Amino acid sequence: MDHFHSGHLIVNKDRKIIFCNTYICDLSDQPEKQMIDSNISQYMSKASNIFMDSYIFPLLINESIAQEIQITWVGKNGQRIAVVANIKLGLKGISYWSLYECANRDKLHSELLKANEKLEQQSQELFSLATTDPLTGLINRRELQAQVEKVIYQVSRNLSTFALLSIDVDFFKRVNDTYGHQAGDRVLINLANIFTTSLRAHDLIARVGGEEFVLLLQ
Q: What is the pLDDT of residues 54-108, one digit of tens each?
A: 999 999 999 999 998 888 898 877 888 888 999 999 999 999 999 988 766 556 5
Percentage, residues of the chain above pLDDT 70: 94
What is the H or E stretch that residue 206 is in? strand 204-207
**Domain boundaries in the chain?**
7-105, 128-217
**Which CATH fold topology does 128-217 show?**
Alpha-Beta Plaits (3.30.70)
Helix (H, G, I), strand (E, B) or coil at 132: strand
**Which CATH fold topology does 7-105 show?**
Beta-Lactamase (3.30.450)
CB 216 within 8 A of CB 204: yes
Other residues' Cβ atoms within 10 Å of the Cβ of residue 202: 9
Give catalytic residues, as residue numbers. 211
CB 97 within 8 A of CB 11: yes
CB 191 within 8 A of CB 133: no
For residue 208, the model assigns a pLDDT of: 92
CA–CA dist 21, 7 (Å, integer): 6
pLDDT for residue 110 is more than 70:
no
CB 215 within 8 A of CB 167: yes
pLDDT for residue 150 is more than 70:
yes
Q: How far is CA 203 from CA 47, 146, 163, 164, in A?
A: 55, 14, 10, 10
E runs forming strands in 90-201: 95-101, 163-168
For residue 122, the model assigns a pLDDT of: 78
Backbone phi, then psi, for 139, in 5-degree steps? -70, 155
Percentage, residues of the chain above pLDDT 90: 50
pLDDT for residue 112 is more than 70:
no
Instruction: Write out the DSSP string of 170-198.
Output: TTHHHHHHHH-HHHHHHHHHHHHHHHHHH
CA–CA dist 205, 195 (Å, integer): 7
